Amino acid sequence: MKGRTHISAAIFAALWGTSVLADVDVTIGYLSVITPPPPTLSRLDEIPENLGSAGAITGIEDNQTTGRFLNHNYSLNQTAVDIDGDYLAAAADLLAASPYLVIDAPMDALIAIADLPSAQGAMLFNASAQDQSLRSTDCRANLLHTIPSNAMETDALAQLFVSRRWDDIVMIAGTYPADTAYAEAMRNSVRKFGMRMGDEKTWAFDADMRRAASAEVPLFTQDFGDYDVMVVADEVHDFGRYILYNTWEPRPVAGSEGLTATAWAPVIEQWGAAQLQSRFTEAHDRAMAPVDYAAWAAVRTVGEAVTRTNSGDFDTLRAYILSDDFELAGFKGRPLTYRAWNGQLRQPIAIAHPRALVATAPLDGFLHHINELDSLGLDRPESQCEAFE
Amino acid sequence: MILRSALFLSLLSSAAWSDEIWVTNEKDDTVSVIDVDTLEVIQTYPTGERPRGITFSHDFSRLYICASDSNSVQVMDPNTGEILHDLPSGEDPEQFVLHPDDVHLYIANEDDAITTVVDVETRRVVAQIDVGVEPEGMAVSPDGKIAITTSETTNMAHWIDTETQELFANTLVDSRPRHAEFTRDGKQMWVSSEIGGTVTVFDVETQTEIGKMEFEIAGIHPDRVQPVGFEFSEGDETVFVALGPANHIAAVNAETFEVEDYILVGRRVWHMAFNGDKSQLFTTNGVSGDVTVIDVASREAIKTIKVGRFPWGAAYRPTN
């Protein structure tokens, strides 16, 4: 009986809460620019329709639960547009409603949106594009990145290679731009941590292959000779899955397949991550993907700044987010902060296979004079971004 | 043969009336019982899934265990290890605190953003209180009038009036608050923040912050110094704070809020319990799967005891 009274009191409070004006009311936009994936050898991978936006929704819910106690209110405006559609108009619409916009789009679209007149004085969050140049020569002062760059992920793998003494490395790369970008990042990482990339081959088979990919792989990998680890740069997930267990030499496979470095994976459970995973899965009926995590982190960034400053003022929030006082608890065992030189969210990188977490970078022993997390990706002297100065 | 000698040992130990420290093993679904005199594990009992919070009734005749993944609070007879019954607890109970009335359990439901109040006698839910995301730390004032829930992702201490079972204050703390305790005089309430790396002290009467402490250990990056569980020494003079992956316990002067010592323990230290006269402190070390015994007077670790996988909570039981 007493329990029932409390439940109705709670409902009343909730209704009452929405009927009065909140002290701070924050709307966040979410735009996904849909790019159809290229054809691949396997159709096993299903791309969820709510990839990214599901993470934003969980972020809004987390913000809202906190906001309830502070009279802060949050809402999400979502739009999805095809890459051939008018995504600039869609972005301008969302920006008219709110200066905070989380975007899942390829690099070119992202830059075009960031350069919109209506995006000046806004805060955009890149939740999916991993291109290095977005954190360097192509950076924008109004664009933060919650998804790690390719370089952060390949640096994480390179640290593992060093610690495992797998320093004889070979690589197979696909031919899509995402594959070649990943391969280039891997080469840089191997060099950065004092190793040398050995032989490389390009997977450029077309319909003329005349055998199943798995049957082709032993022969294709035979002339690598001996090595410690094989890197596969196959970001579109075309051929990479057929490399594992089919190599001429029995060796581990890492990169886009096998042992991968990533912002988020279903196998992360430490540091309270199990709670975020179960909250997400319960709400969306699937596992949380890296883009979901990046969208969640973007929405939580705004929420955390509103909570701590008790303000909805754009300039106050932006200054706070980029200050030393800001920190986001991102279920990765360390506070997450933004790099002041290029707007990249500093974060530990998970090194995992589909069944378990193998390690978390930065690995023990990879030191940095300011923050060990800056051993991953573009450090201040390496980035050519000047927009934040 | 082995069985018989184990049986003999357990008979012997109960005959000797040694006090005990009970430890939940989060990834073994067991509790380990440590003999305080011999500093050895004398019993291991099975529990529900993912046992975390652990506490005894005031007469130590019943043991309450948060079996998080079984979505229940289990009640165990500590003399036999038998599970007597389950209490309704709400989803995913992680940590709880027993009210001074010995009847009401305040339970943090981590997945549901709720604090559930259960009457352990009628075995009914008395109230459910909406709190922030991922409630964890639970405390109750010595006079029983205030209960505290800390929420890890909302980053607040929620102040509950135990008469109305409603919130009367919400105070922001640093990131990922994990544990809360009142001082024995009820005047201060302390909260640890794992990711913030701090412990905050509140004045209970005004719910305002009166102090905050930070920790610094040579050779360990500040990001890895993560305060979680803590306990007050005899007389409330010293606070022992577990620093998680920094693998140290800090001894803090409870008056000046200054750190006096750091004591090296096992890996990812979580929670702790004192023995009866508070001369020894037992810490649960999650990653290394053991318990470190600290001599409180000398502030030195004197022994490591292997328990189950991922030991989490600890509770003291006198048997004399």
> Cβ of B158 under 8 Å from any chain A Cβ?
yes
Length of chain A: 389
Residue B276 lies in a domain: yes
* Same domain membership, residue B59 and residue B25: no
The complex's ipTM works out to 0.78
Mean pLDDT of A68-79: 95
Q: What is the mean pLDDT of chain A?
A: 91
pLDDT number for residue A17: 41
Residue B261 lies in a domain: no
Residues 171-210 of B with CB under 8 A from A: 172, 175-176, 194-196
Q: Which of B153, B172, B192, B287 to mutate to test the interface with A (most CBs of A within 10 A)?
A: B153
Q: Which domain holds residue B297?
A: 17-43+218-255+266-320
Residue B10 lies in a domain: no
pLDDT less than 50: residues of chain B? 1-3, 6-15
Q: Which of A6, A278, A282, A376 to mutate to test the interface with B (most CBs of B within 10 A)?
A: A6
Distance from C-alpha of B180 to C-alpha of A66, rounded to nearest angstrom: 19
Q: Which of A60, A63, A66, A270 to mutate to test the interface with B (most CBs of B within 10 A)?
A: A66
- Is 60 exceeded by the pLDDT of residue A6? no
Q: Cβ contacts (< 8 Å) between B160 and chain A: which residues?
A: none
Residue B71 lies in a domain: yes
pLDDT number for residue A270: 87
Is B223 in Cβ contact with A65 (below 8 Å)?
Answer: no
- Is 60 exceeded by the pLDDT of residue A351? yes
A147-178: per-residue pLDDT in tens?
999 999 999 999 999 999 999 999 999 999 99
* Same domain membership, residue B150 and residue B80: yes
Of A7, A329, A372, the CB nearest to B153: A329
pLDDT number for residue A207: 54
> Cβ of B233 under 8 Å from any chain A Cβ?
no
Domain count, chain B: 2
Question: What is residue B224's three-state secondary structure?
Answer: helix
> Cβ of B168 under 8 Å from any chain A Cβ?
no
The neighbouring-strand residues paired with B177 are B193
Q: For residue A362, say if its preceding peptide bond is cis, omega within 30 degrees of 0.
A: yes
Can you read off the two tokens belonging to residue B231? 């306990």
Mean pLDDT of A258-281: 94
Can you read off the two tokens belonging to residue A138? 């192509």
A299-323: per-residue pLDDT in tens?
999 999 999 999 999 999 999 999 9
pLDDT number for residue A21: 65
CB atoms < 10 A from the CB of A269, how many?
15
A8-58: per-residue pLDDT in tens?
344 333 444 444 567 899 999 999 999 988 888 887 888 899 999 999 999
Distance from C-alpha of B239 to C-alpha of B230, rounded to nearest angstrom: 7
CATH assignment of the domain containing B207:
2.130.10.10
Mean pLDDT of A335-355: 96
pLDDT number for residue B65: 97
pLDDT number for residue B293: 98
Is A278 in Cβ contact with B132 (below 8 Å)?
Answer: no
- H or E element at residue A153: helix A150-164
Q: Cβ contacts (< 8 Å) between B134 and chain A: which residues?
A: 272, 275
For chain A, report the end-to-end CA distance as a whole number of angstroms.
Answer: 62
> Domains of chain A, with CATH numbers?
22-148+265-347 (3.40.50.2300), 151-261 (3.40.50.2300)
Residues of A near B (CB-CB distance < 8 A)? Answer: 2-3, 6-7, 9-10, 62, 65-66, 68-70, 272, 275, 278-279, 282, 307-308, 327-329, 333-335, 371-373
For chain B, report the end-to-end CA distance as a whole number of angstroms.
Answer: 30
Please state, in angstroms and as integers, the Cα–Cα distance from residue A62 to each residue in A37, B131, B172, following that order: 31, 12, 15
A127-137: per-residue pLDDT in tens?
999 999 999 99
Residue B160 lies in a domain: yes
* Same domain membership, residue B195 and residue B98: yes
Mean pLDDT of A280-308: 97
In contact, A146 and A125? CB cutoff 8 Å: yes
Question: What is residue B200's three-state secondary structure?
Answer: strand
- Is 70 exceeded by the pLDDT of residue A142? yes
In contact, A337 and A331? CB cutoff 8 Å: no
